[in-house]
Each structure stands twice: as C-alpha cells, then as structure tokens.
Amino acid sequence: MTPTTTRAADGVRPPGGTTPGKATPGTRPAPAAGRRQGRRETLAGYLFLTPWCVGILLLTLGPMLVSLYLAFTDYNLFDSPKWIGFKNFQDLFADDRWWTSVQVTLKYVLIGTPLKLAVALAVALLLVKPRKGQGFYRSAFYAPSLIGASVSIGVVWRAIFNDDAVVDKSMSLFGWDVGGWIGDPDWALPTLITLTVWQFGAPMVIFLAGLKQVPGELYEAAEMDGAGRWRRFRSITLPMISPVLFFNLLLELIHSFQVFTSAVVIAGSGTNTGGPGDSLLVYGWYLYEQGFRNLRMGYAAAMAWMLMLGIGLVTAVLFKTQRGWVHYEEDAR
C-alpha cells in the first residue's frame, strides 16, 4: 500500500511529487497515485459503511417509500393493496377519534415539554455550583430518565395514582380532593404528564453541561453593576445557554410526539384502549390500534405520514425562530 498522508486523499495535489512508495512525512505522492489513493479511500469508506448502507436502504428508505405508497391504499395485510388516492386522508379528517388523538398528543407535548424543561433547568441551576456530593445528586436525579420508559414504571404510576391510592390520599390531606386520577377523564392526562416531567434527568444533565460553559466573569461584572439574581438569570444565563435549550427543546418535542409505552400502560389493559373517555388516546397508540389491531395498514400509514408532517412542521418552525432567541458565540463576534 502506498504510504501517504491523509490529506492526499482529498485530491489536493501539490506540484512536483516524489516517487510513490518512498514518501516520507511531509512529502506528497504524484498526481496519479493521489487519484488512485482517492479511489481506494472511497472503496474503503463504502466497505466500512456496508452494514449501515444495507440498513438504511432496507429498514429506513425502503420502508419510507412503501409507507408513503400504502398511505394512498386500502391494505389489510392479506389482500393486495388497493389504490384509493387521498381517501385515507379524507377519512382521517372526518374521524373523531383521530382528532381526539391529535388533541391528546398536542396537550401532552405542549404542556409536558415546557414543564419538564423548566424542572430540568431549575434542578440544573441548583446543582451547578460545585458542592459536596454533586455527582451523587446528578446521578440520582438522572435515574428516572432511564427507567421511566419501562412498563414497570407505568405500572407503578398506575398504582400510585389510582383512586384512593397514595397520591389521592396525600392530596386529600391538603384538602385537594380529586377522587381518582386515572379513572377521571380530566385527570388521566395530567397523570401521564407527571410521568414525563418526572424524567427530567436527561435534559438536566445536558443543561448542566451547558451551564458549566458560561464564563464566571460575566456574573461578576453583572453583580458589580448591581444586577439581581433574576436579572442575571434573564440577561446572562438564558442567552448563554440558549443553544442548549434549543437542543433540549427539539429533542424533547420529537420524543414526546411519539409517546407510546407509558400511555398504553397507564391507560390500562385489555380492550380498554384509550383510557377513560379516550383521554389517554395518544397518537402513537391510535396508530397502533388502527394498523395492528384493526389491520387498516393504509390508514395507519397515512396517520404516520401526518405525524411526520407535524413533527417536520414543528422542527421547521423551531429552526426558523431560533435566529430570534438562540445566541451562538459566533453571532456575538
């Protein structure tokens, strides 16, 4: 193999090369060798990428095309798909339960995400100053993020928010009598939202990493100018961590739109699918129900694409607005 520097692979060929095979550090191979090297690098690149390439074609791009096609068909898994044009989408807009699932999911996302991020940021601020046991607190607060998505925690949530269970009884002690959380259509969704907020540890550690980057001099200078705590938070901390906030927001939103396991487990088992009065009928579950229980694969594919459109729209809006509130270091210079 021709020894060469990696830079030669770019096709950057300086004039007057040395004989290939005898190159020493600092010398570059002849033009022809460079081109050959480039091809060899490309071959090596694709060889290393073979599993990934197969994966993306077989499990991502291919399925995307198929689901796009299915969205315009009537398909039950057994008979061949029948092209029906936009009928699935028309049916969606006329489907009350679809609208319910959209509403439930939007409520979950729009209330849960800001709450979760606020708690994550508050705890991160609490933990940012170096203190004894900081590592312990960081880890302990992070733990729920790991187990929160499991069926087990869904079961636990169901049990502690049950009618007359721990949460209900504790609240009654304070004179706040809801009388059944999961059984009550008005309180089932807030129960699910508390479970999301409970998993604030993952965005918290990202906030912590961001907060550590804020230069201390800024606070000292502001303090000298007589800026109070709140002022310092608003004028220094928030702008300085806005890229991290943006990242967390994006990730949480995309993640929340796809909520499934916790909603299903809290909603209950068997045939009772959407919780009391469909108050826990999240989008992911309704899609599953239509596709895999009712075998309306085309309809579910149309639902999936509407979800993708929704997530794409939210992502696009976020990226559009970030100029207004996300401050990157380079802008300031």
Q: Considering only residues 59 through 98, tell me which ones interact with another protein, judged by CB under 8 A.
A: 59-60, 62-64, 66-67, 70, 77
Q: Is 219 in the site for another protein (CB under 8 A)?
A: no
Q: Is 307 in the site for another protein (CB under 8 A)?
A: yes
Q: Is 255 in the site for another protein (CB under 8 A)?
A: yes
As to burial, measured by CB atoms within 10 angstroms (0-12 exposed, 13-18 middle, 19+ buried), residue 227 is: middle
Among 14, 46, 231, 293, binds another protein (CB under 8 A): 46
Q: Which of residues 23-42 bind another protein (CB under 8 A)?
A: 25, 38, 41-42
Q: How far is the CB of 33 from another protein (least distance, A)?
A: 14
- How far from chain centre, in Å, is Cα 142? 17
Point out which span in 175-183, 226-234, 259-267, 317-325 binds another protein (CB under 8 A): 259-267
Q: Is 144 in the site for another protein (CB under 8 A)?
A: yes
Q: How far is the CB of 146 from another protein (least distance, A)?
A: 4
d(C-alpha 92, C-alpha 90), whole Å: 5
Q: How far is the CB of 17 from another protein (least distance, A)?
A: 16
Point out which span in 27-35, 182-190, 234-242, 249-257 binds another protein (CB under 8 A): 249-257
As to burial, measured by CB atoms within 10 angstroms (0-12 exposed, 13-18 middle, 19+ buried), residue 71 is: buried
d(C-alpha 306, C-alpha 68), whole Å: 11
Q: How far is the CB of 276 from another protein (least distance, A)?
A: 15
Q: How many residues bind another protein (CB under 8 A)?
A: 106
Judged by beta carbon, residue 218 or residue 254, the one nearer another protein is 254
Judged by beta carbon, residue 175 or residue 225, the one nearer another protein is 175
Judged by beta carbon, residue 44 or residue 110, the one nearer another protein is 44
Point out which span in 86-94, 135-143, 234-242, 325-333 binds another protein (CB under 8 A): 135-143
Q: Is 110 in the site for another protein (CB under 8 A)?
A: no
Cα dihedral 179→185→186→189 (10° resolution): 110
Q: Which of residues 168-207 bind another protein (CB under 8 A)?
A: 169-170, 198-199, 201-202, 205-206
Q: How far is the CB of 115 from another protein (least distance, A)?
A: 14
d(C-alpha 251, C-alpha 238), whole Å: 18
Q: Report the candidate in 208, 239, 39, 10 with the shortest Cα–Cα distance to residue 128.
A: 208
Q: Which of residues 261-300 bind another protein (CB under 8 A)?
A: 261, 264-265, 269-270, 283-284, 287-288, 291-292, 297, 300
Among 18, 76, 103, 162, binds another protein (CB under 8 A): 162
Instruction: Tell me the H-state helices in the chain.
Output: 31-55, 62-70, 87-94, 96-128, 134-147, 151-160, 166-173, 185-198, 201-211, 216-224, 229-232, 238-257, 261-267, 283-288, 297-325, 329-332
SS (H, E, C) 155-207: HHHHHHCCCCCHHHHHHHHCCCCCCCCCCCHHHHHHHHHHHHHHCCHHHHHHH
Judged by beta carbon, residue 189 or residue 291, the one nearer another protein is 291
Count CB neighbours of 275 within 10 A: 25
Angstrom CA distances, 159 to 152, 171, 280, stand at 11, 15, 16
